[in-house]
Amino acid sequence: MNAALHPASHRPRSRLRRLIAPLVVPQVFDFWASRLHPTWSWERPLARIVGRSEASADAVTLLLAPNRNWAGRRHEPARAGQHLMIGARIDGALVSRSYSLSEAGRADGRIAITVKAIEGGKLSRHLHRDARVGDVLELGPAFGEMTLPARVDGRWLFVAAGSGITPLMAMTRQLAAQGMPVPLTLLYWARRREELCFVEELRAIAAAHPNFRVRFLLTRQEPRAADEDAGRIDASLLDAHIDDLAARQVYACGPGGFVANARGLIEARAQAFAAEAFTPPPRAVEDTGTVAVTLARSGRTLELARGESLLTALEAQGLKLNSGCRMGLCNTCSCGKSSGATRHLHTGDVHAEPVSSLRLCVNSATSDLVLDL
């Protein structure tokens, strides 16, 4: 929607490119360049799928070869633990969501993402079922703060559930590549055994590095192997698998509810705790009624419900908006707000001051609004 927010343009250019830029119409350049090679482009970061393998019963790992326009190829290598926007054309329209890198910092410059097919998830189902080697995807820059420090020390614990394994797997791989310099335990929850990803690889890492321990925790099946156990995350299960929690630095990743539980159980007891949730925590709807939202650029005024996110509410009115992660991370859906008050759905905070970038996916209207749309 807002061209200024396209990540593609925030890329430093070579002197030659700067010199000829006034003579180049990007859309004409891209047309001819893409005839020669599918990912050649003037400034759009694109990637070609060069590998595809099943990661579990309902997840697939895609190996991507990004073009030179992707920030990670040039000046800011993606780090294990980060996410990036992935976009694919589905029924003619570009659909973008953010995915964690399951492997970063490869010598060949390629990146891997592991995608779990989600019920009703447009892009995840497309990537899981239809994406083939040779397909071209749009890429965003890598982002995210939950990464390993440059010099890793201390003792570590990774707590993952479901797709939350992906960023933690990337960090586990990175540590394994460094010879596992610190003690690391990974507790990995899934409903059933066949939903677990990277099992063989994790066991191989564990066999090769005495410093690394992995435990698979199933919530809907009984344990069979020595490194398996059953049950939802709770204090006793944690104590059974980790005896020095107070000395551990903990990273947790998973659905909102899981991360909230992990935070409650661990944050106060561990040495350090950081977490990322890939779905927002369950929210209590308290605001009711409707407000008038004026779209300044298109000159329309819409009646929107107070309780739900502006993105959902606007989409329900038939607007096609840019959106990405839909949880307030990636900024794709943000637009200016010149007046009115909004409530942040995760924090509950009310903001009344005008801003240049309001994230529509995680804010609801609490008063009449004027948006720069």
What are the residues binding another protein (CB under 8 A)?
1, 3, 6, 8, 22-23, 25-28, 30-32, 44, 87, 89, 91-94, 96, 299, 318, 320, 322
- Least gap, CB of 292 to another protein (angstroms): 18
CB closer to another protein, 25 vs 268: 25
CB closer to another protein, 97 vs 343: 97
- Least gap, CB of 307 to another protein (angstroms): 26
Query: What is 155-202 written as a DSSP string?
Result: EEEEEEEGGGHHHHHHHHHHHHHTT--S-EEEEEEESSGGG--SHHHH
What does the DSSP 8-state code read for residue 330? S
CB closer to another protein, 89 vs 220: 89
In sequence order, the 6+-apart residues with CB closer than 8 A to the CB of 105 are 77, 78, 79, 80, 174
Characterize the bridge pairing of strands 83-90 and 355-358. unpaired
Of 255, 286, 288, 283, give the one whose Cα is nearest residue 346: 283
d(CA 97, CA 115): 11
- Least gap, CB of 48 to another protein (angstroms): 18
How many contiguous H segments (helices) and E segments (strands) does the chain have?
A: 9, 20
CB closer to another protein, 294 vs 322: 322
d(CA 343, CA 114): 33
Residue with tokens 């998830």: 121
CB closer to another protein, 245 vs 311: 311
| 342 half-sphere exposure, CB direction, 13 A CA radius | 28
- Least gap, CB of 89 to another protein (angstroms): 7
- Least gap, CB of 68 to another protein (angstroms): 18
Q: What angle do CA 359, 364, 370 make, to 5 degrees?
A: 75
d(CA 175, CA 62): 21
- Least gap, CB of 322 to another protein (angstroms): 6
CB closer to another protein, 131 vs 259: 131
CB closer to another protein, 46 vs 217: 46
- Least gap, CB of 329 to another protein (angstroms): 19
